[in-house]
Amino acid sequence: MMKKILYLFAAALLSVAAASCSSKATTDDGREITASPEAGPDGIVMLTQGDYYTAGQPVDRLTVIDFNAKWCGPCRAFAPVFEEAAEKYKGKVTFVSVDIDSVPDMMPEFGLEAIIPTVLIIRPDGSYVSYVGTGDLMPYDKFASLIDTNLNTK
């Protein structure tokens, strides 16, 4: 009886693993790419657990990721700046919001400490730069300048 239960459990695990792998793709060198969800009406993609970027992964276009949390005051202060930039650069830059309480394992993937707000700018070749705190991100003109500089980086 115990063997039967173990076999059923193992079969269930295998079917779940197979189903979760079917929606993922890999690059030529075998790195996993998880498809990103669609952007909302404000132009911002809201990531959830299971949908995330990995360090060194090439992206279609410049991607700006805001690591934040609902309880974080500086994150809430930066949110309107991020939203304004998402509107201005819609179609040129991908804007992604990551609530670190919902997706806790993405910051360590990029070697980042759990200090928020942190903004990660990923260039199409997969290279990236990070900015911690709001000093480099606010007011809007400073943030837009960072985006423009990275848009022009080849």
Strand partners, 24: 34
Note the pLDDT tens digit of each residue in 125-142.
Answer: 999 999 999 998 999 999
Catalytic option among 47, 75, 116, 147: 75
Q: Cα–Cα distance between 45 and 93 in angstroms, integer?
A: 11
Note the pLDDT tens digit of each residue in 83-106.
Answer: 999 999 999 999 999 999 988 888
Note the pLDDT tens digit of each residue in 104-123.
Answer: 888 888 888 888 999 999 99
Catalytic option among 39, 46, 69, 72: 72
Q: What does DSSP assign to residue 39?
A: P
Its pTM stands at 0.72
Residue 21 annotated in active site: no
Q: Cα–Cα distance between 139 and 17 in angstroms, integer?
A: 45
User: According to DSSP H, which parts of the chain are helical?
Assistant: 2-21, 73-88, 106-109, 140-151
Q: What does DSSP assign to residue 35?
A: P
Q: Give the contacts of 96 (CB within 8 A, at least 6 positions apart).
A: 36, 44, 45, 46, 47, 53, 63, 64, 65, 66
